[in-house]
Amino acid sequence: MTVNQILAVKGKEVYSVLPSITVYEALVSMSEKNIGAILVVENQVLKGILSERDYARKIALKDKSSKETLVHEIMASNVITIKPSDDLDYCMELMYTKKIRHLPVLENETIIGIISIGDVVKSIIDIQKETIQYLDSYISGKS
C-alpha cells in the first residue's frame, strides 16, 4: 500500500498555521480540528510542525506561557517528509526510527497531505482483514 492509497481513503485536507502566531492560537486550532499536530507553513512553504508533544515538553514542562511564546520558537523545523509513492513499510520504519507520529506528504515541494501513525495502523488492520477474508474464502472453497 502506498501513501497515495492512504490519502485516497483518508483525504488530503491539510491544516496549517503561521510561524508568527502564538502557541496558544495554534493549540486552539488543533483542538477545533481534533488533531495532534499541525503544519507550520509560510508562503506555501513548509517551515515546521507543531505537535502536542512539543507543547508538553517545551512549554508546559518549562513553565513558559503558550500565550506569549510564538510557534516558530518551539516547532520542529527539521521536518521529515514523504512522497505519495512511498510505501507503508517505509513510513512505519521512518516513524519508528525517528520517533515521530506525523509525516507530511510532499509532491514537487507542494504539501498534498499528511499521514499519522493512526492512519498507518488503520491501513495495516485493513490489509490484515482483507488477507483473513481471502484466506477464509480459500480454505472454505468459496474463492
Reported as type and span, the H/E element at residue 6 is helix 3-10
Number of domains in the chain: 1
* CB atoms inside a 10 Å sphere around CB 22: 17
Determine which of 17-21, 46-50, 83-87, 131-135 has the lowest per-residue pLDDT on average: 131-135
Amino acid identity, position 29: S
Of residues 71, 49, 70, 18, the one with CA closest to residue 116: 49
Provide the pLDDT confidence category of residue 17 given band limits of 50, 70 and 90: very high
Of residues 71, 68, 20, the one with CA closest to residue 50: 71
Tell me whether residue 6 is exposed, middle or buried, using C-beta atoms within 10 angstroms of its C-beta: 0 to 12, 13 to 18, 19 or more: buried
Is the pLDDT score of 86 beyond 90?
yes
Q: What share of the chain is helix, strand, coil (3-state, %, to 5)?
A: 45, 25, 30
CB 95 within 8 A of CB 111: no
Query: Domain span at residue 51?
Result: 3-140
* Number of residues that make up the chain: 143
How far is CA 79 from each of CA 5, 31, 110, 127, 140, rounded to the nearest angstrom? Answer: 22, 22, 14, 28, 48
Provide the pLDDT confidence category of residue 54 given band limits of 50, 70 and 90: very high
Percentage of residues in the chain with pLDDT exceeding 90?
90
pLDDT for the residue numbered 134: 87
State the CATH number of the domain containing residue 33: 3.10.580.10
Amino acid identity, position 106: L
